[in-house]
Structure 1
Amino acid sequence: MRYFITGFMGSGKTYWGKQWSEKFGLKFYDLDEEIEKREGKAVTAIFEEKGEEAFRKMEKETLCTYMKLDNFILSCGGGTPCFHNNMKRMNAQGVTIYIKSPVELLVKRLHTEKETRPLIAGMNDEVLAQFITGKLTEREHFYNQAMYHLPAEFMSLDNFQKIIRRNG
């Protein structure tokens, strides 16, 4: 089975993906890290040098390579579901999980990571909160298409075990 974890940056996709993969014996991949390996540079550098449109194309191409694999968990970038019909593709090819996080929690988590995240670099916390609120409003339509919605504040290993039982 293919498991795709979606949600806003800072929601815990990579953390929980790693936890679940270790506990349930599935391979784990982080889509942004896979793009960085393929391109030989950080996502931040790709955004700066080539722009978001080029990055989103790389993201789609990299995502499509995982449709040929099986028995893994893939942590997707926050914007992945919102471009190039990626959410539709992930729903057709596997199980999608949306880790839903409140704005306050995202601001707290992202406060120390601003410089490594190209979309929020240099923002103060007030602007960051406004940005997150706006982006969540834009992206919620895509995130809500996920098969499972898990509130970030109630995450556990058991959440994923229940999903595995339902999807084999």
Structure 2
Amino acid sequence: MNIFLIGFRGTGKTTIGKLLAQRLDKEFIDTDEYLEQKQGKTIKDLFREGGEPLFRDIEAQTIAEVCRPDNRVIATGGGVILREENVRRLRKNGIIILLDADADTLYKRIHDNAQTQQKRPSLTSLNAYEEIEYLLAYRRPLYDRIADFVINTASLSKHDAVNKILSFLHTYVKDLRKG
């Protein structure tokens, strides 16, 4: 069983995913890092070359590849839910956990992370904070629609977030065995 972490940029998918994978003794994959390594380019470069459509095509191919093996913790890109083919693959191949946070928290985390600013493109012509608010308003219903479990990471440590996920997974697996 794969565990997919979805959510907006800055919610902690990579940080929490690595720790969760370690605790579960599973392989960890960050799909953004995976596709950058495979393409030999940053996401920002891919956007520059072919815009969002090119990036979303490559992202869909990446999701198809990383779903095949089982028993992984997989942190997805924030926009993975924009394509129905990705949603179908995630649902078919594992449990989907949404990491969520408010716009203020996300802005601070993204703004404080130089690597995120260098490697990730702006997706709108809005300023950084307004873009977060706009994209969250658009994406949140999509995230909520497919999530098996939602956890707000705004005020949790990475360890507390992982413990909440582990508690959910324990209950989820126990319920599967009963059913």
TM-score, reference length from structure 2: 0.85
Q: Quick one: which amino acid aligns to residue 25 of structure 2?
A: G
1:128 corresponds in structure 2 to: 128
Whether 1:116 and 2:100 are equivalent positions in the alignment is no
Whether 1:165 and 2:166 are equivalent positions in the alignment is no
Deviates more, 1:70-79 or 1:155-164: 155-164
Q: Quick one: which amino acid aligns to residue 44 of structure 1?
A: K
SS at match of 2:141: helix
Identity %: 27
Structure 2 residue ranges without an equivalent (≥5): 174-179
8 Å CA contact 1:60, 1:84 repeated in 2: no
2:148 corresponds in structure 1 to: 147
Q: Quick one: which amino acid aligns to residue 116 of structure 1?
A: K
Per-residue deviation at 1:129?
Answer: 1.6
Alignment of 1:1-168 (within 5 A): 1-112=1-112, 113=114, 114-119=117-122, 127-144=127-144, 145-152=146-153, 153-154=155-156, 155-168=160-173
Per-residue deviation at 1:121?
Answer: 9.8
Structure 1 residues 70 and 159: alpha-carbon distance in aligned structure 2, compared to 1, 3 A threshold:
same
Structure 1 residue ranges without an equivalent (≥5): none
8 Å CA contact 1:19, 1:157 repeated in 2: yes
Distance between the aligned counterparts of 2:172 and 2:57, measured in 1?
Answer: 30
SS at match of 2:121: coil
2:176 corresponds in structure 1 to: none
Distance between the aligned counterparts of 2:20 and 2:44, measured in 1?
Answer: 27
TM-score, reference length from structure 1: 0.90
Structure 1 residues 140 and 35: alpha-carbon distance in aligned structure 2, compared to 1, 3 A threshold:
same
Per-residue deviation at 1:79?
Answer: 0.4
Structure 1 residues 108 and 121: alpha-carbon distance in aligned structure 2, compared to 1, 3 A threshold:
farther
Per-residue deviation at 1:120?
Answer: 6.1
Per-residue deviation at 1:78?
Answer: 0.5
SS at match of 2:36: helix
CA RMSD of aligned residues (A): 1.9
8 Å CA contact 2:151, 2:161 repeated in 1: no
8 Å CA contact 2:2, 2:72 repeated in 1: yes
